[in-house]
Structure 1
C-alpha cells in the first residue's frame, strides 16, 4: 500500500515538473508566425522590381520555422528558403532567407 502511494506521488511530481519545464519555455504562436510572414513579405516588397508572390512558413519545432518566399523579379520567378528561430532565454526571434 505504501509503495502504491509513493509511486503515485512520484508520478504526480514528475508530471508537474514536466509541465512546468515544458510550458514555461517560449514558443511560436500563430500570431507570431503570421507576423514573421508579414515581415518577410514587407522586407522583400521594399526592393525595386520585386514582387512577392507567396510566403510559406511551417513550424518544425516549438522554436523553429522553415519555409520559403517566392518572388517575381522582372519575368523570372525565384524561390528562396527561409527559416526563423526563437531564443530559449528571452523569446527573441530572428529570421533569414537565402
Structure 2
C-alpha cells in the first residue's frame, strides 16, 4: 500500500499536537482510550451490536476483513472495534481518522 505524499509527517504532527493538548511527554505513550475521550469519540466493541459468533465466523472466512469502522450518528462519532482482531495500531488508526 502506498501512502499519500506527506502522510507520515502529517501523522507525526497530529500525534505531537494531541500529546501537547493532553499534557503527554513528546515521546510518551498516547493511549487510544485517552485520545478517544479527548476527541469525544465513543469506542464500542462490535460484540455489543452483533453476536460474537458472527464476528468469529467473519474472521474465519476472511481474516483481517474487519478491524474497526468509524461512524457519525447524530453528530456523534463512534469507532466500532472487532474484539476478534488484534488491538493496537489498526484500532488507533481508525480512531484518529475519525476526528483530526
Structure with the largest fraction of helix: 2
TM-score by length of 1: 0.27
Greater Rg by CA: 1
Structure of greater relative contact order (alpha carbons < 8 Å, 6+ residues apart): 2
Structure with the largest fraction of strand: 1
